[in-house]
């Protein structure tokens, strides 16, 4: 599991002063970039070298409590599944030991030229595997 701390700032909240629902996913993406960078995974290199991108194809999110401006949340990420053409990241926002939100995001490997799903490059699959342990 990878943990990433993030303070909820003014740019993150809605008119009610709490984390806007869509920003949860932006923050998960921010945490995912940090997790992959720690493992030496730089997706733009794979785009250039293999001609593939990794769009989100499925999202599930459950919101359990509000996160007000100024609150610091720990975003926990777990790479739960790596398949031939997809990988799944489970996420959880934790504040003071309580789950504020949780869910999962599935990314597919897509060929830039054909826009069709294609197998993950072998070296990337190995790097992703290292993140799941």
For 45-56, write each residue's pLDDT tens digit: 767 788 899 999
Residue 131, phi then psi, degrees to nearest 5: -70, -25
Residue range 5-17: average pLDDT? 95
pLDDT (0 to 100) of residue 128? 83
**Cα 52 to the chain's mean position, in Å?**
18
| Local structure of 121: helix, strand or coil | coil
Question: How do residues 58-113 score in pLDDT, each as one tens digit?
Answer: 999 999 999 999 999 999 999 999 999 999 999 999 999 999 999 999 999 999 99
3-class secondary-structure state, position 133: coil
pLDDT given at position 133: 63
CA angle 18, 89, 106 (to 5 degrees): 100
Predicted TM-score of the model (pTM): 0.90
* Contact of 43 with 110, CB cutoff 8 Å: no
What CATH number has the domain bearing residue 103?
3.10.129.10
Across the range 26-38, mean pLDDT stands at 92
> Structurally, how many domains does the chain consist of?
1
pLDDT reported for residue 44: 75
Range of the domain at 22: 2-132
């Amino acid at each position: 599991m990878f943990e990433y701390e993030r303070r909820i700032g003014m740019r993150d909240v809605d008119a009610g002063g709490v984390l806007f629902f869509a920003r949860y996913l932006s923050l998960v993406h921010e945490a995912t970039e940090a997790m992959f960078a720690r493992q030496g995974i730089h997706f733009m290199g794979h785009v250039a070298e293999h001609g593939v991108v990794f769009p989100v194809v499925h999202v599930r999110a459950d919101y359990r409590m509000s996160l007000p401006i100024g609150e610091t949340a720990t975003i926990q990420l777990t790479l739960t599944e790596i398949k031939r053409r997809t990988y799944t990241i489970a996420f959880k926002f934790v504040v003071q030991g309580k789950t504020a939100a949780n869910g999962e995001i599935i990314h597919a490997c897509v060929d830039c030229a054909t826009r069709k799903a294609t197998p993950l490059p072998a070296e990337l699959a190995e790097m992703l595997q290292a993140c799941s342990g």
